[in-house]
Structure 1
Amino acid sequence: MKIGIKFKLVSFIALLLLIVITLSSFLVLNGIKIYQNKEAENILLNQKDIFEQYLDENFNADSSKNNGKFELVRATLFNKPWLRTIPASIYDTNGNLLSGFKPDGKLNENNEKDIMIKYAIEGKISYKRDDNVLYFYSPIKYKNNTAAILELQYSTKESNNFYNNIKLMFYGTGSLSLIIGIILGFFYLSNFTKDIYTMRNSVKNIENGNFNNIEPLRRRDELGELSKGLIYMSNTIEKNIKELEVEKNILSRAVKKLQKMDKEQKEFIGNVTHEFKTPITAIKAYADVMGMYSNDISLIGNGTESISKECDRLTSMVDKILKLSALERYDFEIEKKEINIKDLIEQICLRMSGKIKKNKLTLDYKVDDINITADPDNLRHIIINLIDNAIKYNKSGGSIKLSCQKNEDTLQINVTDTGIGMSEEHLDKIFEPFYRVEPHRSSKTGGTGLGLALVENLVKKQKGTIKVNSTLSKGTSFSISLPL
């Protein structure tokens, strides 16, 4: 059976109070009893000394009349007022009663009187308690010899009544103190244990994941500090769980994405492997025919042109595989350094000018003279990809505009073309690997659906963002924001 902490604490306080009250009562009552005994002993010894002094002054040692014995002057002895305060009897050295006085007229009720008189004859003092009477026997000395035996009967009734009243008072006040102490302890511990139960419920709420049901304690002691610790622990656990859930979701999405990419990569590699055989077979066939008909100029010309086209196809396939491999680069491969963005873009535009002229397009660029810290290879790859897309999906006689400028604490790069554009339904998907807006259009331009996925990946590695706006048949605009 489970015993609650409140019951344990109240029981402990009750037991502690009981021990303290019992021990203090015992010590006080025992002290009172010892004091009463010493007081009675002092009174009796003092009475005995008075007897000895009086008898010493009034005894007559006349050996001729008393045969060598003392004669007690009884007529005057027991008429003394001081003697009437305590009942007394006097015996000779043979134990015979010489004289005595008691207020109630009874003499010598002690059943052990003879034994105690014998001790007194031997020079010893003895006591005996009997109900409310203390019997006292002592030798009376005269010139260092025992002349008689004194018996005193001291009433202890009054002191016993006093002791019993004190004992009852201690029992009463002790019991009352114990009850009051238990009641006060119960009410105090009720509030104390209530706070403990509150913290217990808080711990259970933490165990059950109810982190918002943690009740704080308004205390300025260790329980208050413990309550603050529970709240801090609850908030920390909740925060860690949320972070783990976010990481779990990210990891789950990453796993799904990797599974999808793995499937698409396998399909792509299978397709590329299959497509590699076609141009190689064609090149081998044209080479064999040209060897067989080396004098046929027309055949050699057609063969040379076909072999060139097949080589272009092989080159495009190799580029696709290289782009696919580029998606597997890791963040730690970024090597940032300070570069001048104007110089970098001018170099890229000069490099792309031949391809632009070949496709009968124009390129206008406006770039601010800004120094930034970034990975130059990644940045170069981003801009080349965007310009290359603007060339591929543009119209004959169209234009491309590139701008780069500082906007507060970011670098804004915009690439806009007047090409064929795309509908809104494709805008959220174009950054997915292997996604193609129109498969037949991508096959004409040699697209694999990896270019923009690579661009987005590289932008994110630079801690930047990329957005796209496009209108079908009117053109597309890409906007990149990179932190400075």
Structure 2
Amino acid sequence: MKIGIKFKLIAFTGSLLLVVILFLSVFVLNGIKSYQDKEDEAILFKQKDMFEQYFSERSSLGNNGTRDKAELARGSIFNKPWLRTIPASVYDTKGELLSGFKVDGKLNENKEKNTMIEYAMQGKVSFAKKDGVIYFYSPIKYKNGIVAILELEYSVKESALFYDNIKKMFYGTGFAALIFGVILGIIYFFNLTRDIYIMKDSVENIQRGNFHKIQLANRNDELGELSKGIVFMSNTIEKNIEELKVERDSLNNAIDKLKKMDKEQKEFIGNVTHEFKTPITIIKAYAELIGMYENDLCLINDGTTNISKECDRLATMVDKVLNLSALEKYDFEIRKKEVNLKEIIDEICARIMGKIKKNDLTFKSNIEDIIVTIDEESLRHVIINLIDNAIKYNRPSGSIDIECHKNGNKITIIVADTGIGICKEDLPKIFEPFYRVESHRSRETGGAGLGLALVKKLVEKQQGTINVDSKLNEGTIFSIEFSI
């Protein structure tokens, strides 16, 4: 069981006060008792001397008047008024009572009377206390001889009552002083321990990291200096922790940035590699068509133009790869400008028409004439990838439909095909990098699963959304939406 410092201090103060009060009480009361005993003893010896002096005087007269000492004691020793105020008895040397006087007339209640008389016959003084009365026995000497035994009865009831009253007063005063001292101690130690508990709570809050809950104990002593030290230590620790957090965040940001750069670099290289296949495929398709129709000048001119454009695209991508190698980073920068969506999509469709015809596909388009601010290069990547996928995963004699229309502040681009489709379980995963639905892909595609991942990223970079709806063996519809 844990005992608090407040209880310990109060218990110590109470115990100390109790010890001091008991010590003073015992010391003072013993002094009073000793003083009373000495006073009583002095009075008894004084009375004894009075009797002995008077007896000596009367004995001298008795010798001159031929009277013996026993008769003198028996007849005249208590005739003096001042002697009759003292309860006393005189015994001869044989222990026989010669004369006596008692104020209250009570019998002698000392049971050791005979023994003490015999002790006095030996020339010694003795006394005993019983029921508030001191019985004093002393030999009376005359001319170096014991002539009688004096018995004195001295009441100490008043002094005992005085002593009892003093003792009660001491104990009562001591108890009151103890209670008062404990109360004062509680008040003082409450303030003292309150500041100690403030510092204790401050230390616990430092351990928990609650630096805003640190309190200062307003004192002008060592505890106040200690409290200031705790506050200073708390501020220093908090500052150091904040600095460490900043450094940690900087390191984490640097690590995240490095990971992101590495990931983007790998993704970009994979995406660019994937993108190389589209222009190469177009170039190869036109080359084969030109070889097949050598006399078709229109086809040759159209093919030459598209081959030149695709070569430019390849050159651009090669430049990006070279830049990536040199800078070890790549950021998909968004460079928006006003463009005509119909012109861009029609141009893309015209460039890829050779591949569409080669795969014996039907192409339909319904493009509204819309002017919009958008990143043209990113949009081209998106449309080309979607149309290319529609060609790759379509059925022989299938169709591709592309639409673009405006609805309020939204622009929607739809690319639909009548291809092999995607099963419902795979739809949520098709935008993940390198994910391929192998069981539904043509063996001739050779895709790496990066095209749709790149499409989704480019769309989201322009605050757009892309959705897909597909049924297995019926076809797929991609829907892109941008806000304007």
Name the count of aligned residue pairs: 286
Corresponding residue of 1:241? 241
1:72 to partner: Cα distance: 2.1
**Cα distance change, pair 167–448 in 1 and its aligned pair in 2 (3 A):** same
Question: Is 1:99 the counterpart of 2:102 in the alignment?
Answer: no
Corresponding residue of 2:326? 448
Corresponding residue of 2:57? 57
Q: Map 1:6-405 to 2 at 5 A.
A: 6-60=6-60, 71-257=71-257
Task: Provide, for residues 208-253 of structure 1, a one-character-per-residue CA deviation record: whole Å limited to 9, x for no partner.
Answer: 1111111111101111111101101101110111111122122223
**Cα distance change, pair 180–443 in 1 and its aligned pair in 2 (3 A):** closer
Mapped to 2, the partners of 1:66 and 1:262 lie a distance apart of 148
Corresponding residue of 1:385? none
**Cα distance change, pair 42–64 in 1 and its aligned pair in 2 (3 A):** closer
Equivalent position amino acid for 2:327 in 1: G
Identity of aligned residues (%): 60
Mapped to 2, the partners of 1:92 and 1:167 lie a distance apart of 42
- Mapped contact 2:75–2:99 kept (Cα < 8 A): no
TM-score by length of 2: 0.54
**Cα distance change, pair 43–58 in 1 and its aligned pair in 2 (3 A):** same
Of 57-66 and 238-247, deviating more is 57-66
Task: Provide, for residues 387-414 of structure 1, a one-character-per-residue CA deviation record: whole Å limited to 9, x for no partner.
Answer: xxxxxxxxxxxxxxxxxxxxxxxxxxxx
- Mapped contact 1:61–1:68 kept (Cα < 8 A): no
**Cα distance change, pair 138–75 in 1 and its aligned pair in 2 (3 A):** same
1:438 to partner: Cα distance: 7.6
Mapped to 2, the partners of 1:75 and 1:235 lie a distance apart of 104
Corresponding residue of 2:288? none
1:76 to partner: Cα distance: 3.4
Structure 2 stretches lacking a partner, 5+ long: 269-315, 330-484
1:61 to partner: Cα distance: 9.0
Mapped to 2, the partners of 1:264 and 1:74 lie a distance apart of 140
1:254 to partner: Cα distance: 3.5
- Mapped contact 1:18–1:178 kept (Cα < 8 A): yes
Mapped to 1, the partners of 2:22 and 2:72 lie a distance apart of 53
Structure 1 stretches lacking a partner, 5+ long: 269-436, 452-484
Q: Secondary structure at the match of 1:233?
A: helix
Mapped to 2, the partners of 1:86 and 1:69 lie a distance apart of 21
Equivalent position amino acid for 1:49 in 2: D
Of 106-115 and 137-146, deviating more is 106-115
**Cα distance change, pair 212–441 in 1 and its aligned pair in 2 (3 A):** closer
**Cα distance change, pair 438–238 in 1 and its aligned pair in 2 (3 A):** farther
Mapped to 2, the partners of 1:248 and 1:160 lie a distance apart of 86
**Cα distance change, pair 48–441 in 1 and its aligned pair in 2 (3 A):** closer
TM-score by length of 1: 0.54
- Mapped contact 1:62–1:70 kept (Cα < 8 A): no
1:69 to partner: Cα distance: 6.1
Mapped to 2, the partners of 1:19 and 1:198 lie a distance apart of 32
Mapped to 2, the partners of 1:146 and 1:78 lie a distance apart of 19
Q: Secondary structure at the match of 2:229?
A: helix
- Mapped contact 1:59–1:71 kept (Cα < 8 A): no
1:65 to partner: Cα distance: 10
Mapped to 2, the partners of 1:107 and 1:58 lie a distance apart of 27
Q: Secondary structure at the match of 1:72?
A: helix
Q: Secondary structure at the match of 1:139?
A: strand
Q: Secondary structure at the match of 1:242?
A: helix
